Chain A
Amino acid sequence: MSAPEPILSMRDYRLVFDTFDGIYQALDGVGFDLNPGESLGIVGETGCGKSITAKSILGLLPSPPARVLSGEILYRGQDLLKASERDFRRLRGTEIAMIFQDPMTYLNPVFTVGEQLVDAILAHQRAKPGGERMNKAAAKRHAIQMLAKVHLPNPERQFTSYPHELSGGMRQRVLIAMSLSGAPRLLIADEPTTALDVTIQAQILDLIAELIDDLNLSVLMISHDLGVVAKVCDRVIVMYAGHVVEDAPVDQLFNDPRHPYTRGLLASIPHPGRPPTSLSGIPGTLPNLYDPPRGCRFAARCPLAVPACTTAVPEKRHLSGNHLVACIRADEDLPAEAADA
């Protein structure tokens, strides 16, 4: 398969936070490519660095405390780590858009949905280099079109609603409409359905899937829910304590996970569609990232760990085609007692 030019690629990205307690080594050598039209999932547990990765792309981390040590984030050839705040203002919304976990906190409670949408649309218009100016009436028409596109019932009426009058699912639809109103190429979705009930989540995931197809969007979907990622994404990267440990097409990741952490994670979740089998869990806790262990950050909890794991960070290597894993013992089976512990 000849690889298309990736729309986004992150290379050897290292980020730390300077805090009173010391230097928090949040991300260490994170790298991945996102191809046009692809939807890529990032999964991992609390503190693995998945949200920080997403925020880095849009330049949303305040510095200080954040400090980039190395690496580059290339969006269509442009290095975002060298971009100025002005450059970002041009990119946000019109090239790269983001939706967040809690739809309530990202809408202003004292303005109507319509006012906020029109503001966003006009701002996007101004940001577009050489874009034609839109007047308020045209922006309103566009806003109502966007609300209809995300299947908000009765968009003309909802245009004049306040956020508190909408349910959680409807608010998330409004935010999706807002983020897509500038016709971005890349959508970053940070836990977009975590705050929603399952029946509402299913509807929002349907909407995202529909928009991926209709608008030819590339999507970076961040989630702790392996089910959500399995449903929506073409490819998944698994993060642990600031490292990318596995990067694989979704079928391979779920049918043949190779990194011991990924295997532990999959063995930890009860399956809603099957009768119960015992869950293994992963013993131990996350390493202290103020003083991270040398070598593999998962080694202390890993059933396959050998002394070599603690001396050097394992290189990412290709297992087959585009299945990458950062583990020196990825080809081996887990010891039997770990499988039924």
Chain B
Amino acid sequence: MLEIEDLKVHFPIREKWQKATVKAVNGVSLSIATGDSLGLVGESGSGKSTIGRAILRLNKVTGGDIRLKGMSVVNAGRTEEEMLRRQAQIVFQDPHSALNPRMPILRSVAEPLVLHTKVRGVELRRRVTDLLEIVGLQSQFLYRYPHELSGGQKQRVCIARALALQPELLVLDEPTSALDVSVQAQILEFLKKLQREQNLTYLFISHNLAVIRYICNRTAVMYLGQIVEEGATEQVFSAPRHPYTKVLLEAVPLPEAGQSRRTDVVIGDVPSPVNMPTGCSFHTRCAEAMAGRCDKVAPPPVALADGRRVRCHLFAD
């Protein structure tokens, strides 16, 4: 469904009166099969949202290619872009700012249909009612405004709008991070059901490991613009290989009794994406870093026997 090849997204900035570049995404290759849901997990600044936005052409791409069903997203012209818009849609983190406060729900959800199709009038209203029904909202919401809805309801409206053109790929960028856990549970259950019923493909971006484990069958872990580990979700979570994945999993406090108060695993801060470390970008915080190797040579991705890809010298040769 989606193939990303050596994607690079760099942003020019000025730091202390000098030109510099933030390498937000620095050589990412990924592919998602139809009906899969790939979780993209990482901390802030790892570049996960930038990838999601690049797929929708919301960011300029510096290098590499993104292909959606074989069609290049990066080099698409106007007519191609219109076709891409129907095939891929995005749901953002904050549903409050993703809906126009002056539009009733009917108009917000109808907008993609008005822009892309010739559906109008009664038929348009019927389609919007159907869409709202899919996300579990009754028709009484049609003429309400966003401020009359709760956070969870607004996020359902955003999902309905994303589904309006019957896309095959849905990019979900932290769709539940602004919601309370009891509401998050409802949205996650719904997203799971929706994917089964409509045979959708998900790219699910989140910093929340538990959410990724719950929704996704494949997981890619990002660190400073690169994917450091990618594989089947249960493998990545139950037997992480890359030292960063291990640290990340150990750092999450668990909602259960009898934990030690101290974690004692991680050292220091994430390096600046402007001034990235040489060699492996994680070596400055890695407990298993090998002097003379990890700080000099960037590790290439290595395919492991179980189908995982890991970017670490520990698994080379």
Check: B182 CB closer than 8 A to any chain A CB.
Answer: yes
The one of B182, B184, B263 in contact with A264, judged by C-beta atoms closer than 8 angstroms, is B182
Q: Are B253 and A230 in contact (CB under 8 A)?
A: yes
**Is A280 at the interface (CB under 8 A from chain B)?**
yes
**CA A230 to CA B254, docked complex, whole Å:** 7
B263→A266 contact, CB < 8 A: no
| B211 touches A (CB below 8 Å) | yes
Contact B255 A266 (CB under 8 A): yes
Task: Tell whether B56 is near chain A: CB-to-CB under 8 Å.
Answer: no
A280-B185 contact in complex given A224-B180, A254-B257, C-beta closer than 8 Å = yes
B254 near A268 with CB under 8 A, answer: no
Binary per-residue interface labels of chain B (42-60) against chain A in the complex, 1 for a CB within 8 Å, 0 otherwise: 0110000000000000000
CA distance A269 to B253 in the complex (A): 12
Of A169, A270, A273, A285, the residue contacting B269 (CB under 8 A) is: A169
- Bound-state Cα–Cα, A232 to B257, Å: 11
Q: Out of B182, B213, B251, name the residue touching A202 (CB < 8 Å).
A: B251
Binds B, one of A53-61, A93-101, A121-129, A192-200: A192-200
Number of A residues near B (Cβ < 8 Å) is 50
Inter-chain CA distance A91–B293, complex, in Å, is 54
A267 CA to B254 CA, complexed, in Å = 14
The number of residue pairs between A and B whose CB atoms lie closer than 8 Å in the complex comes to 137
Q: Which residue of B lies closest to A198 (CB)?
A: B251
Q: Which of B183, B213, B255 contacts A230 (CB 8 A)?
A: B255
Tell me the minimal C-beta distance from B237 to chain A in angstroms: 8
Q: Most chain-B CB neighbours within 10 Å: which of A167, A203, A210, A253? A: A203
Residue contact B188 to A271, C-beta cutoff 8 Å: no
Which residues in B have some Cβ–Cβ distance to A below 8 Å?
43-44, 150, 180-186, 188-189, 207, 209-211, 213-214, 234, 237-238, 247-259, 261-266, 268-270, 285
Chain A positions within 8 Å of B, measured between CB atoms, are 45-46, 153, 167, 169-170, 197-203, 205-206, 209-210, 224-228, 230-232, 250-255, 264-273, 275-276, 278-283, 285
Rank and list the top 9 A-B pairs by shortest CB-CB distance, nearest first. Answer: A281-B185, A227-B253, A202-B251, A268-B185, A272-B210, A270-B214, A197-B43, A282-B182, A279-B185
